[in-house]
Amino acid sequence: MLEKRLAQKLAAELPVPPSEYLEVLQRLGFVRPTPNLYQKLLAFYTSQVLGFYEPQRDTMVVVDKPLGAEAVTAAVWAHELAHAAQEKRFRLPTRLLAVKDNSDKQRAISAIAEGEAMLVMLAVESPTPLDASQIRHTAEAIAQGTRQVAEQAGIDRFFVEDLAFPYAQGLATVLAAWEQGGWAAVDRLLARPPLCTATLLFASPCHHLDDQAMPPVPQGYVQLLADTLGAWALRFWLAQPLGEERAGAVARVWDGDRLRLVRKATEPQRWALAWQLRVQQEAALPTVREALEEALPVLFGNFERQGLPSWRLVSQGRTLTVLVNWPTPQP
């Protein structure tokens, strides 16, 4: 029953069916090709989840625990009640579901939602007034514990870090607001959350690209997915071949990106990609281009079922466009 509810929740939050989304991650090089990946991931989430809130049903689901787990159950209730209050006061969970076509917006909003719920939970649990330094220590311990459990279960690092990010970075952001202005400042953050991970990571402004700037769907192809990576995902993606320092330098100059994945109508396994990345200053373009030219051949190693894809990189102003297997327009 729980696994079925989690499968429904996952499907509601993703822009395409889960099996297709996981194939996207594998083809783009975010995760390793893994047999039965969806079943393994769902089984892991089912084994770890303690509760969740469903805004469509206005329902909280709290997993029944054995006797002796009352303290854990009370903390979960506080956490999920915070999400329910976010929906009633700010419609935050509903707004989260409304941006399924932009993973970066979704990840940023989710971080604020989870961060505030964590702070509420810790405030309810604490017998004394909130201590910011202790909360930071607790947040680090929770994030590290999440990583360890996921790694022991053999879950790919992308899912580990993606799971930890909203709790660790989200709590840090919400806690900073609370320190500056109390719960009123937290409410302002809930009412107007950052819309990109670049703001959370680097205090950069959000300038998202839209689909109109992208190459149109080629003739004979159908769109599979349009999405935005954002600074967090870009950093994780590039860190695999380049290392954290070089990947972080590229992510820091992020000023918007957008991708379009298409598949050939007559050959569904034949995919093509157009991805645009804009940087904050044109002077950063050569360094970013050099990084991409080194990283992308590694990351696109599994884009094709057999062999390597063809790809090219085009610069214009502050924007780089990556085209993978993209058909040349016919005259």
Q: Among the listed ranges 52-56, 105-109, 161-165, which one has the minimum average pLDDT value?
A: 52-56
Residues 6+ apart with CB under 8 A from 6: 42, 45, 46, 49, 52
Average pLDDT along the chain: 89
Q: What is the pLDDT of residues 170-197, one digit of tens each?
A: 999 999 999 999 999 999 999 999 999 9
Q: Per-residue pLDDT for 331 more than 50?
A: no
Positive or negative, the CA dihedral 14, 103, 110, 131 is: positive
72 band by pLDDT with thresholds 50, 70 and 90: low
Taking residues 286-310, report their average pLDDT.
93
- What's the pLDDT score for residue 137? 80
Taking residues 163-170, report their average pLDDT.
88
Residues 6+ apart with CB under 8 A from 2: 46, 49, 61, 63
Q: Per-residue pLDDT for 49 more than 90?
A: no
Q: Report the distance separating Cα 295 and Cα 322, nearest Å.
A: 12
pTM: 0.92
Q: Among the listed ranges 82-86, 121-125, 194-198, which one has the minimum average pLDDT value?
A: 121-125
> Quick one: which of 236, 302, 237, 312 has its CA closest to 271?
302
Backbone angles phi, psi at 64, to 5 degrees: -70, 130
DSSP state of 35: T
67 band by pLDDT with thresholds 50, 70 and 90: very low
- What's the pLDDT score for residue 270? 94
Q: Per-residue pLDDT for 127 more than 80?
A: no
Q: 9-16, long-range: CB within 8 Å, 24+ apart, which pairs?
A: 9/52, 9/54, 10/42, 10/45, 12/56, 12/97, 13/96, 13/97, 13/100, 13/106, 14/100, 15/100, 15/101, 15/103, 15/225, 15/226, 15/227, 16/224, 16/225
Taking residues 260-271, report their average pLDDT.
95
The domain segmentation of the chain, as residue ranges, is 2-195, 211-324
Q: Among the listed ranges 143-152, 188-197, 311-320, which one has the minimum average pLDDT value?
A: 143-152
Please state the length of the chain.
Answer: 331
- What's the pLDDT score for residue 195? 96
- What's the pLDDT score for residue 58? 79
Q: Report the distance separating Cα 197 and Cα 183, nearest Å.
A: 22
